[in-house]
Amino acid sequence: SYTVCSQSRAAFMTGWPTHVAGHRSLYSLLQQWEPNMLKYLKSAGYEVRWWGKNDLLAADSFPDSVDSAMSAPGMSSIFARNIAGHNASDPRYYSFLFEALPKWSTDETPDARNVFKAIEFL
């Protein structure tokens, strides 16, 4: 399987290698007609909640796969900047490289807040 973002998640949630249904890019999310583990859990009576960004399901997949979805806001956009700044001619501009967050702000990131919300639910 291709170990990048959406393709990796699609393979994990369906059990299919990425090429089976064409999940080869970050823009080929799981459609409503495709199987996925969340859909099976929900149909078996489990409450399925989603915290954080969505790199897996197309909009038409959510009703069958997830009971509720949310993303906790965070402070990372205030503290972290793309390492290339706003310079689109810098080759690093289209990367995911960001400056390090100050240690005192790590609990304020969207990822941390989503984890805290999930723990609070449990």
List, for residues 100-122, the tens digit of each pLDDT value.
766 666 677 777 888 888 898 88
pLDDT score of 26 = 72
- Which secondary-structure segment (H or E) carries 49? strand 49-51
Q: What is the mean pLDDT of residues 74-81?
A: 53
* DSSP helix, strand, coil percent of the chain (3-state; round to 5): 40, 10, 55
The answer to whether 107 touches 74, Cβ cutoff 8 Å, is: no
List, for residues 27-54, the tens digit of each pLDDT value.
788 999 999 999 999 999 999 998 887 8
Which tops the pLDDT comparison, 87 or 15?
15
Question: Using CA atoms, how far apart are residues 89 and 24, in angstroms rounded to an integer?
Answer: 27
What is each CA distance from 31 to 7, 27, 114, in whole angstroms?
A: 13, 11, 24
| 77-80: Cβ within 8 A, 24+ apart | 79/105, 79/108
Question: Using CA atoms, how far apart are residues 75 and 42, in angstroms rounded to an integer?
Answer: 32
Percent of the chain with pLDDT over 70: 75
Give, as one character, the DSSP assignment of residue 52: S
